[in-house]
Structure 1
Amino acid sequence: MATWTASALGLAAESGKVAPQAAKPLPAEKAEIIHWWTSNSESAAVKLIAENYRKAGGIWVDTAIAGADQARAVAINRIVGSNPPTAAQFNTTKQFLDLVEQDMLNNVDDVAKSEGWEKILPEPMLNVIRIKGHYYAVPVNIHMQTWFWYSKAAFKKAGIAKEPASMDEMFAAMDKLKAAGIIPLAHGGQAWQETIVFQAMLTNVGGKDLYLSVIRDRDQKAINSEAFKKVLIAFKRMQSYIDPGSPGRNWNDATALLISGKAGVQIMGDWVKGEFAAAKQVAGKDFGCIAGLTPNTPYLIQGDAFVFPRTNNPGTVQAQKLLAKVLLTPNTQLEFNKLKGSIPIRSDVDTSSMDICAQAGVAIMKDKSRQVGISEIFLTPDQNGALQDILTAFWNTRMPVEKAQKSIASALKD
């Protein structure tokens, strides 16, 4: 039983004189939540969670910090400095593993058990939040980060009548966009965005086996193979389709180029759908979405999660567990993910009212063979950072592909 729930009053010595009574619930505790959801669509999504939390009896105190890295740094510094928030946003990766190992987080085992998480959450996500048998985070969604998004208006202007169904067809479409004076690839020149483009090439050009050999197994033979060299060449080719304004551009500003028809394609996670929705654009009518260029392309899943800093304060623990429950209620899951652009983490939510891109993602998730984690699920933060540095240098300089390949092999060597 959790520490904040008092036990029933003891019976009087003489049976029947005093009936047992449950302790009164603690008054609502203020719950400060640190998160990085600051774009238009993200703000709308987090407001939905906050409202549902208040309806459940909690008091939401919003601490929004622009930028995922910055928000995590603030959260970690406050936890280490003994001034923790009630909950903090992380991605569903190894980002919070150090906090778990240093015993700085509360688990939510009793919520996980009572809500039956093992039956309703996908195994790749369970394997991240469940550490040594305990649950240390609440995942709220499934994002797939390597979607190809395209502007219907831009494709029409460039004379592209058929949706690309292979990497060669995608390159051909971008050549047509370029010839029509349209930015072929709307890209934000930031290291994490370049890593997304790389993973899209690795999965669509290399396939699942090569992806797992390189990222999960860090197999040196696979990294030094001709097949992986082709992936890097395709990745570098994508750089030839960006515009001069790309460096430093935020992802949502890149999406705005698609919304305005100034650009044709963006490779980005399904959180961009929130920007399309905010602009009143409709999937299948104003923009298209391609989860993979082959029927077997891995569906690289990630997501957002909340962790709960260590505390023994009964009211704060109560607030944490209330939030853990609210985040995974079916209604919160459905309405939040509609606004966020992701799909529900719960497998039992009725998604028939979601857009066609979301429904395509839900359908793919039913095929467990296509469920694969992003690189940050398999790599340590140091390994992921080293890989990202190499990819960004390769993208932005004239680094020979052979040097990039050797550098990646060295960075991922055990």
Structure 2
Amino acid sequence: MKTGMKALLAGAVLIAGVGPALAEDKPKAEVVTSWTSGGEAAALGVIKAEFEKRGGVWKDSSIAGFGAADAAFQNRLVAGDPPAAKQGVMGVANTDFVKQGLLSPVEQTAEAGKWADVLPKSILDLISYDGKVYLAPTGAHGESWVFYSKDVFAKAGVTEEPKNWDEFFAALDKLKAAGVTPVAWGGQSWQEAKVFNMILLSQVGVDGFLKIYVDKDQSDASVAGLAKTLEIYGKLRGYVDEGAAGRNWNDATAMLISGKAGVQFMGDWAKGEFLAAGKEPGRDYGCMLVPGSDGMVYVADAFSFPKTADKASEAGQKLLAEVAMDPAVQVAFSLKKGSIPMRSDVDKSKLDICAQKGIELMTAGKIAPDQALVLTPQQAGALNDFVNEYWSDASADPAESAKSFYEIFD
């Protein structure tokens, strides 16, 4: 009896001693994101669940607002206490981090997963630096959407989607007459800049959009396109409510969901809020490109991976990159977030009608990059300031302001 008891005790000690070591050896990842709204959190949960299913230990460090999340991330880099992964926008914003040697490449994971075979070349270019892959893409978003409440439209007598800006403003007048807020406006500079870009694309087309943002073209045609854009943009001031200043985008979406407003200019991530509220595209709400536009502004998210000496975190980074690019995860993530999968080989049949429209535009090449993908953070910030200042000054002249637009590149 005593011998048996000693054996049991010895076994318990052995298990107790080995258990913690095994837990420490598991891949782990502290992940900083700005995904805190209902749809965003649900989408992040898809990645987290699969990460944990594969044996990873997840620590969530989400911070509301991408500006706040970026600032917190940079502070931790400077302090030498980086997380294992950071969600952010692809493009030039990551260049400085790579040049300073602060990010680890995931080249081996990308090669093993044959990412080059399933990602559009434009996306592969955006996640690569000096020929190495540094980012793991999660999904792309179309930003040229106008979402509208089908119930509110019906009650106001708006029977079909406006095909041009004259019809659009006529519809807004009907909404105002019906006693609802015509436009659920997110009064933050980054949201205002996205509305500006939507309108700009409708006025100058994809080629003209690229000329302005990439080539910094100041031809008469470009300046005229900017002036017309600002004219339309400024006209929207008369269709927003007094509480718009500082409003979060998801709070604006909630105005459509509750029937308090008619339309919202927003990226397709807003669909996640509709989904969380039990609303379906085509039944409860519609999605249309801004009037007169035959293309779509897009932005794309990805995980970056700060350098770390912690082996468990290194393993977690590799696992997270694999999970983020898993075909099934990409679809499930997109369904929750309202985005478009980055891989070309996923099952598209489960995507909603809005996502199907977005995929058609991407496939046809009718897409233009969000400024965050092609401008430096400083230039993108200057654009936000320019648009916000114009919006705040009802006396601003569109033609004169169009000429000063190019100061954002200085």
Q: TM-score, normalised by structure 2?
A: 0.91
Q: CA deviation at 1:302?
A: 0.9
Match for residue 402 of structure 1?
399
- What does residue 17 of structure 2 align with? none
Following superposition of structure 1 onto structure 2, how do residues 4-403 of structure 1 map, counting pairs within 5 Å? 27-222=25-220, 225-294=223-292, 297-368=294-365, 370-397=366-393, 398-403=395-400
CA deviation after TM superposition for structure 1 residue 119, in Å? 1.9
Q: Deviations over 1:237-285 (max 9, x none)?
A: 1222111110011000100111111111111000100100111111001
Distance 1:191 1:267 in 2: 13
SS of equivalent to 1:311: coil
Identity %, equivalent residues: 42
Please tell me whether the aligned partners of residues 295 and 361 of structure 2 are also in contact (alpha carbons under 8 angstroms).
no
* Distance in 1, Cα, partners of 2:204 & 2:219: 14
- Give secondary structure in 2 for the equivalent of 1:406: helix
**Higher alpha-carbon deviation: 400-409 or 140-149:** 400-409
Q: Deviations over 1:50-89 (max 9, x none)?
A: 1100111111111111111111111111122111111111
User: So what's the TM-score if we normalise by structure 1?
Assistant: 0.90
Task: Return the alpha-carbon distance in structure 2 between the equivalents of residues 293 and 179 of structure 1.
Answer: 21
Gaps of 5+ in 1: 1-23
Q: Distance in 2 between matches of 1:116 and 1:173?
A: 48
Distance 1:121 1:52 in 2: 21
Deviation readout 1:71-108 (Å, 9 max, x if unpaired): 11111111221111111111123222211110100000
Q: CA deviation at 1:222?
A: 5.0
8 Å Cα contact 1:106/1:308 also seen in 2: yes
Shift of 1:223: 7.4
Residue pair 1:188, 1:251 contacting (<8 A) in 2 also: yes
Q: RMSD over aligned Cα, in angstroms? A: 1.8
In the alignment, the residues of structure 1 paired with residue 42 and residue 144 of structure 2 have an alpha-carbon distance, to the nearest angstrom, of: 23
Structure 1 counterpart SS, 2:83? coil
Partner Cα distance (1:56, 1:371) in 2 = 36
Task: Measure, in 1, the Cα distance between the counterparts of 2:223 and 2:82.
Answer: 47
Q: Give 1:42's aligned amino acid.
A: E
Alpha-carbon offset, residue 231 of structure 1: 1.2
- Answer yes or no: is the 8 Å Cα contact 1:223–1:409 preserved in 2: no
In the aligned structure 1, how far is the partner of 2:146 from the partner of 2:224?
A: 25
Shift of 1:153: 0.9
2:236 counterpart SS class: helix
Mapped contact 1:223–1:405 kept (Cα < 8 A): no
Contact 2:89 2:373 in 1 (8 A): no
| SS of residue paired to 1:363 | helix
Contact 1:147 1:289 in 2 (8 A): yes
Deviations 1:168-221 (A, max 9, x none): 222221121112222111111100010011001101122222211211211122
Q: What CA distance in whole angstroms lies between the structure 2 residues aligned with 1:25 and 1:191?
A: 45
C-alpha distance in 1 between matches for 2:319 and 2:302: 15
Whether contact under 8 Å (2:281, 2:354) holds in the other structure is yes
Runs of 4+ in 1 over 6 A off after TM superposition: none
The 1-side partners of 2:279 and 2:119 are apart by: 30
- Secondary structure of 1:64's counterpart equals coil
The one-character-per-residue Cα deviations of 1:359-393 (angstroms, maximum 9, x if unpaired) are 2212222112x132111112111111112111100
Tell me how many residue pairs correspond in the alignment: 388
Paired AA for residue 73 in structure 1: A
Which amino acid is the alignment partner of residue 334 of structure 1? Answer: V
More helix per residue: 2
Equivalent position amino acid for 1:411 in 2: I
Distance 1:186 1:222 in 2: 33
Alignment-derived partner of residue 7 in structure 1? none
How far is 1:129 from its partner? 1.0
